[in-house]
Structure 1
Amino acid sequence: MIGGALLFWVWSRNPKGVPQYEYSIAMLIPIWSALAYMAMGLDQGKTEVAGQITHYARYIDWVVSTPLLLLALGFTAMFYVPKQERSITLLFGLVAADVVMIVCGLFADLSENSTARLLWYICGVGAFLCVLYLIWGSLRQIALNSDAELGAIYTKLAGFLTILWICYPTIWAVGPSGLGIINQTTETFLFVVVPFFSKVGFSILDLNYLRDLAPRKPAYHHAA
């Protein structure tokens, strides 16, 4: 994670027309996650509920890093849209749905009985579907309306992020807090590997695309 943050800092020294806030977001995501993983590595940020270990440090990580990822994706969709015309309401709705999803996941993990756990899990999945709806609906349409090449790039990034994000509730469902198909060690390993690709991997792709696009940035026009 720190290696990824350093890479983005190096790129920010030669931004190639990409706004500095894009690099700041990309750097903050892995730095914040690295702190959460350090806490888990030091055997902190966890508690035992109903005989299972809940790593609440993960949720502290996700409640900050995943909204930043969605903001990065949203800013990519609106890359050609002037700042004053960007939909703050859309970005707020995206982040709000994501925070609800993370909080529901935390309460599901902290639930002592299976009924409460399942109810919180279902609520979290519902919030996740709202996130996907905004990603593949309004945001994708903004990117497509702005420029065909940007639309294609956004679609690739959204697909990459969606596949990895689907892994999160899937791992949770088959882990000790869900069906118990995989053990705690395997779940913890997967919850380290998948975030690396969804955070550092996504930011590498995102910034690479933007650094290539920025010098050829066309004049923005409203789609009919």
Structure 2
Amino acid sequence: MAHWWLWMYVAAMAGGVVLFARWYADPRNVPRSEYRVAIAVPLWSGGWYLLTALGGGRTEVAGRQVYWAQYVDWMGSASLLLVALTLTGTHALPGRRPGLLGALVGANLAMILSGLAADTTADRSGRYTLYALGVLALVVVYALIWGPLRDHARRQPRAMAAVYQEAALLLSVLWLGYPLLWLAGPSGVGLLDPDPTSLLFAVLSVLSKVGWSVVDLGRLRALSDRGHLTVA
């Protein structure tokens, strides 16, 4: 029988889809593209966790159970979250900076693929080497978020720039939890057993995906209600 938190995660993702679909029906001058991205995140993530809850999406490596479906989920959902953050950072500017977005998504994919490769490597030294490469890719993501993307965000009206700042800070803090959990779990130093590690990953993912999108879209909707939302 699948762990209960996998089903709770699927339910949380379904709740996110329902909420964002309701907001999509009443966009309050927030571009519908931002709602479509928000809806796509829990749809994609919930589908892969449903596969895991049904007993798939996993393999055994050197006596450890590796949930490869989580990495496939993260490749899609984390990339979409970066799209959403970029939309917030360039909301009131002409153009969407495809080059910068491509660099963000590319670094994100490198980070996640490094984590998957590390998790499926039996050799400990090789695993930590790949983990270090993934952390380096995360540093690149942070550098892009807090460097060029923040510079673009600051060219927006002050209220919009503040929304980006809050969204970027929240996402950065939440994403820091992933490498720390990986390191503390059975793939790393083993301070946490597999079940608590999986549970904590699920909780962190709910906060990072549905929770973060609620904050990001909610702040944009609030700006619109106060007449501060400016669209290029």
| Correspondence for 2:10 | none
The AA in structure 1 aligned to 2:43 is I
| Correspondence for 1:183 | 193
Shift of 1:218: 4.1
Q: How many residues align?
A: 218
| Correspondence for 1:75 | 87
Match of 1:138 among 133, 148, 160: 148
Q: Partners of 2:26 and 2:230 in 1: how far apart?
A: 21
Deviant stretches of 4+, over 4 Å: none
User: Structure 1-normalised TM-score?
Assistant: 0.94
The answer (yes or no) to whether the contact 2:91–2:231 under 8 Å persists in 1 is: no
Percent identity, please: 40
| Correspondence for 2:32 | 20
Shift of 1:209: 1.2
1:155 aligns with 2:195: no
| Correspondence for 1:43 | 55
Unaligned stretches of 5+ in structure 2?
Answer: 1-12
The AA in structure 1 aligned to 2:96 is R
The answer (yes or no) to whether the contact 2:48–2:69 under 8 Å persists in 1 is: yes
Match of 1:101 among 80, 101, 111: 111
Q: Partners of 1:134 and 1:60 in 2: how far apart?
A: 23
User: Structure 2-normalised TM-score?
Assistant: 0.91
Q: What SS is found at the alignment partner of 1:145?
A: coil
1:171 aligns with 2:187: no
Q: Partners of 2:103 and 2:223 in 1: how far apart?
A: 27
| Correspondence for 1:118 | 128
1:90 aligns with 2:100: yes
Deviating more after overlay: 119-128 vs 139-148: 139-148
Deviations 1:5-49 (A, max 9, x none): 110000111111111111111001011111111111111100000
The 1:219/1:88 distance shift into structure 2, 3 A limit, reads: closer
CA RMSD of superposed structures (Å):
1.1
Shift of 1:212: 2.3
The answer (yes or no) to whether the contact 2:160–2:229 under 8 Å persists in 1 is: no
Q: What SS is found at the alignment partner of 1:2?
A: helix
Shift of 1:216: 2.7
